[in-house]
Every structure is written in C-alpha cells, then in structure tokens.
C-alpha cells in the first residue's frame, strides 16, 4: 500500500482547514491512501464528508474513559469515523513527555477500537552522530509495540521520522531512509516471524522535511512506502505533488 499522510499539527484556522480538506477530499487519487491529520476539533465535521481521503487524529488519550479533563478517547474517535491516529510523534515524546510505555498503552487502545496507529519512531541528531540510531529505533519499536501480535501489526503503519529532519529542512538522504526502513522491516520480520509477502505489505513511511522536490527520490526506494508530511502538507499544490511522486 502506498500512503501519504499530512500532519497539520496545530495549524490553520477553520476556514483554511475546511478549504484544504475539501479540495483534497474532492480529488480522485488512484492507488495512494491519502490520510489527513487535522487538529482534533475539525475531525467530526470532516468525517461526515469523507470521499477520497481518510482521517487520522494527532493524539488519543491513554485512558479508556472517565475523569480526564481535556482528553479524547479512542472509542470517541472511532465513533465519529476516524480510521487512523498518529502515535509516538517526536513532538509528543519531547514536549508532552510521552514515554514508550504510554505510547504502547495508546497503541493497544487504538487497536482495540479498530483504529490503525501510525506509529512514529526516530532518533535525535546526537544519536545519529554517535552512530546509535539502530539501537534507538530498535528500542522504540520493542517497547512501543510490546504485546502486539501479527494481526495487530498488520493494522499498523510505521513512520520513520529522524528527529533531526523534522521541520528543519534537513532531509535524510534516500539511502539513509532506505537503510533505516530496511532495518525496521527486518526487525519486524524477526520479531513477528513474518513471511516476506506479508512483511512487504506493512507500510513504512518516511517523515522529515519531505517535500515536492525530494519526495520522488525518497519514495523510489524499495522499503519506503510513502511519507508522513508536516510543513509541506499545509499547501494544496505541494501536498498534491507529493501524492503524485510515486
Ligand atoms: C512531521 O512533523 O511529522 C514532519 C515530518 O514534519 P516536516 O515534514 O515539517 O519535517
């Protein structure tokens, strides 16, 4: 499956968000799963109009229900027709103290509610400069996906997002992306004992300053199945040309 997901983060007022959603949603897109991740306040309205795109939440509560002011549960997201949810984004890890254990709890809650996690992992610049990126990703996958079985894994999307490339304009080279995606796929193969055919169907997306200029080079790599796009997802023309970059 080819996937392009646009993470809008906390950007765009209602008018801007509706205009971007409507134009992307009305466009027929062959062969690519296009997932929009708007701020949660827009999800309910957009989900009533879905045609050519899918919706992802940017976050979910780690609690099931109850006295958790400000939180939105996995069941609530499912009730309004959300199919995906970002989990483990580096901004949530760094700014909201999300640990691998919290991420794991959220992944289980999402899967129990039939929402597919888009599980983000990525190393910092210091990690990469010290050459420990594989260990870091291995650890994030091991703890974040703790307790999942193969069927559950088949309902997940993985996004490799090197922290040093997010919002910085520094992109991983296509070879660096391929190398890490291959490492991740190999990890999944061993951990879940998956046959190659099933393994190849698990989408692994690249994220980190991916744009209309570099997307086709990155997407051309064997183990890269698409992208998780931040800044470049906020403009219709750039996001559309990324979608057409396969
Ligand atoms: C992201 O935040 O997931 C991301 C990839 O951002 P950007 O494309 O702006 O680097």
Mutate to test the pocket of ligand 1, among 90, 209, 227, 233 (most ligand atoms within 8 A of CB): 209
The answer to whether the pTM exceeds 0.85 is yes
- What pLDDT was estimated at residue 170? 85
CA distance 44 to 20: 16
Q: Ligand 1: does its nearest atom lie under 6 Å from the Cβ of 7?
A: yes
Q: Separation of 89 CA from ligand 1 center, angstroms?
A: 9
126 falls within a domain: yes
Q: How many domains does the chain have?
A: 1
199 falls within a domain: yes
Using the structure block, give the residue that is written with the tokens 């409507």.
22
pLDDT tens for each residue of 60-104: 999 999 999 999 999 999 999 999 999 999 999 999 999 999 999
Question: Roughly how many angstroms between the first and final C-alpha of the chain, as a whole number?
Answer: 11
Q: Separation of 232 CA from ligand 1 center, angstroms?
A: 8
- Is 89 one of the catalytic residues? yes
Using the structure block, give the residue that is written with the tokens 């976050």.
59
Q: Do 4 and 227 contact (CB within 8 A), yes or no?
A: yes
Residues of the chain with pLDDT under 50: none
48 falls within a domain: yes
Looking up residue 20, the CATH number of its domain turns out to be: 3.20.20.70
- The SS3 of residue 128 is helix
173 falls within a domain: no
Q: Please give the structure tokens belonging to residue 77.
A: 């997201």
Residue 165: partners with Cβ closer than 8 Å, 6 or more residues away:
122, 171, 172, 207, 208, 209
Beta strands in 41-163 (DSSP E): 54-57, 84-87, 116-121, 157-160
Q: Ligand 1: does its nearest atom lie under 6 Å from the Cβ of 227?
A: no
Distances (CA, A) of 202 to 51, 170, 183, 234: 24, 26, 14, 26
Q: Separation of 79 CA from ligand 1 center, angstroms?
A: 28
Distances (CA, A) of 30 to 60, 103, 219, 244: 30, 32, 16, 9
215 falls within a domain: no
Q: Please give the structure tokens belonging to residue 111.
A: 């899967």
- What pLDDT was estimated at residue 69? 98
194 falls within a domain: yes
Alpha carbon nearest to ligand 1 atom 6, residue: 230
Q: Separation of 80 CA from ligand 1 center, angstroms?
A: 26
212 falls within a domain: no
Mutate to test the pocket of ligand 1, among 160, 171, 210 (most ligand atoms within 8 A of CB): 210
Q: What is the span of the domain harbouring residue 22?
A: 7-163+182-205
232 falls within a domain: no
């Amino acid at each position: 499956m080819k996937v392009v997901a646009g993470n809008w983060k906390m950007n765009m007022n209602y008018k801007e968000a509706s205009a971007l959603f409507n134009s992307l949603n009305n466009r027929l897109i062959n062969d690519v799963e296009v997932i929009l991740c708007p701020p949660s306040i827009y999800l309910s309205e957009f989900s009533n109009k879905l045609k050519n795109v899918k919706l992802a939440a940017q976050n979910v509560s780690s609690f099931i229900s109850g006295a958790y002011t400000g939180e939105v549960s996995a069941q609530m997201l499912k009730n309004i027709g959300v199919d995906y949810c970002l989990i483990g984004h580096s901004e949530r890890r760094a700014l909201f103290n999300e640990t691998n254990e919290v991420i794991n709890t959220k992944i289980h809650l999402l899967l129990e509610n039939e929402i597919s996690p888009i599980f983000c992992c990525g190393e910092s610049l210091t990690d990469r400069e010290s050459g420990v990126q594989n260990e870091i990703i291995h650890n994030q996958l091991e703890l974040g996906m703790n307790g999942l079985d193969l069927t559950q894994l088949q309902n997940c999307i993985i996004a490799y997002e090197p922290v040093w490339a997010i919002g910085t304009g520094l992109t991983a080279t296509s070879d660096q992306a391929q190398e890490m995606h291959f490492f991740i796929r190999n990890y999944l193969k061993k951990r879940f004992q998956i046959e190659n055919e099933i393994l190849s169907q698990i989408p692994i997306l690249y994220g980190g300053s991916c744009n209309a200029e570099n997307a086709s080079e990155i997407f051309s790599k064997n183990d890269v199945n698409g992208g998780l796009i931040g800044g470049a997802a906020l403009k219709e023309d750039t996001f559309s040309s990324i979608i057409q970059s396969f």
